[in-house]
Amino acid sequence: MSGFTYIEGARRALAEELERDPRVWALGEDLGRGGVFKQYDGLQARFGETRVVDTPISEATIMGAAVGAALVGSRPVVEMRFSDFALCAVDELVNQAAKNRFMFGGQGRVPLVVRQPIGVWRSSGAQHSQSLESWWVHIPGLVVTAPATPADAYALLKAAIRCDDPVVHLEHKALWPLSGAAPESDAPAELGRAAIRRPGRDVTIVAWSAAVHEALEAARLAAMEGVEAEVIDLRSLWPWDADCVLSSVARTRRLIVAQEAVRDAGFGAEIVATVTEALGDRLEAKPVRLGAPRIPVGYSAPLEAAYRVGPDNIARAITGMAA
């Protein structure tokens, strides 16, 4: 492997955007020391304390200040440390950032990015492990991105920073060390375009973020039993690439959605509903949603495991469906 990691992708994307556009700046807690996961390592030394800003522990004001700063023409990149803490800034994200442009009739734009590390990672417990994407996708005005690969950690963050709408950018903590192919160019990703990570004719699996890797592993297991699953990585959840999903399911006639988040009322339900509305009479099996049970994430290893879907469950769903 080239050694280009997910964390490197994120760091490089931000550095290049800070370099390219003097209006871009980052703010959050402990950024001077590199951020909780070192995803900001070296950036304050390089760009100074006014472009990579250490803030008080004031999530509401980190987000609210970013809204004000965006309204006067700068482009803030907000660090929320853990996605869970973005809940301390929900008013600022949902009522201010997402609504500002609309309720003032287009007078102001809020081009901010909120980086929210998500997901189950090393027994972090109930308040440091959530994946709340469906909350944000539900809010008109927000763009939601969730890279699964190192190349996307780079290209999607760049796209988020250049986007003129507010973007919730979900980075999976378990993926920081993941290494993979470096991006082929320094171009930002196209928002709203999914990637087919594995082609297959029998079943379509839709996933995003870390669940993509579990779906790929499940597809490999299912292939040993002769079932070929197509794995779609959504990459961005709003907008999401319904055309890609519908085209795939129109071929395979079978759909599984695999998400790490709690299944009930999750984003997977949106995908199943959309596919059923468009293709319900052509499906050869009932669509399946896989996700966490509606429980908080437990600390102890077996409790944490009870939360996760995992490749085995997905593989069983694939072979069960194709039977």
ω into residue 239 within 30 of 0, thus cis?
yes
- Region binding another protein by CB under 8 A among candidate stretches 39-47, 90-98, 150-158, 169-177: 90-98
Which alpha helices (DSSP H) does the chain contain, by range?
A: 6-20, 43-47, 59-71, 90, 100-103, 133-137, 150-162, 211-224, 242-252, 267-279, 301-307, 310-322
- The tokens describing 163, both together, are 């986007």
Q: What is the number of alpha carbons within 13 Å of residue 105 lying toward its C-beta?
A: 0
Type of residue at 169: H
d(CA 103, CA 99): 6
| 192 touches another protein (CB under 8 A) | yes
Least distance from C-beta 255 to another protein, angstroms?
Answer: 14
- Region binding another protein by CB under 8 A among candidate stretches 63-71, 204-212, 221-229, 290-298: 63-71
Binding-site size for another protein (CB under 8 A) equals: 55
| 321 touches another protein (CB under 8 A) | no
128 is catalytic: yes
Cβ atoms of 156 and 10 within 8 Å: the answer is no
Please, which residue, 162 or 316, has the CB nearer to another protein? 162
- Region binding another protein by CB under 8 A among candidate stretches 88-96, 121-129, 225-233, 308-316: 88-96
Residues 21-40: x where in contact with another protein by CB under 8 A, - otherwise, as a string: --x-x---------------
| 224 touches another protein (CB under 8 A) | no
Among 107, 224, 301, 323, the residue binding another protein under the rule CB under 8 A is 107
Cβ atoms of 173 and 121 within 8 Å: the answer is yes
Catalytic position from the list 128, 169, 172, 213: 128
Q: Which secondary structure element, helix H or strand E, spans residue 58, and what is its range? A: none
Please, which residue, 63 or 314, has the CB nearer to another protein? 63
Among 223, 265, 278, 283, the residue binding another protein under the rule CB under 8 A is 278
Q: Of 98, 95, 97, 86, give the one whose Cα is nearest residue 130.
A: 86
- The tokens describing 107, both together, are 């007078």
Residues numbered 135 to 164 that lie near another protein (CB under 8 A) are: 140-143, 163-164
Q: What is the number of alpha carbons within 13 Å of residue 298 lying toward its C-beta?
A: 13
| 64 touches another protein (CB under 8 A) | yes
Active site residues: 128
Chain residues that interact with another protein, rule: CB under 8 A:
23, 25, 50-51, 55-56, 58, 60-61, 63-74, 76, 91-92, 95-96, 100-108, 140-143, 163-165, 191-192, 238-239, 242-243, 246-247, 250, 274, 277-279
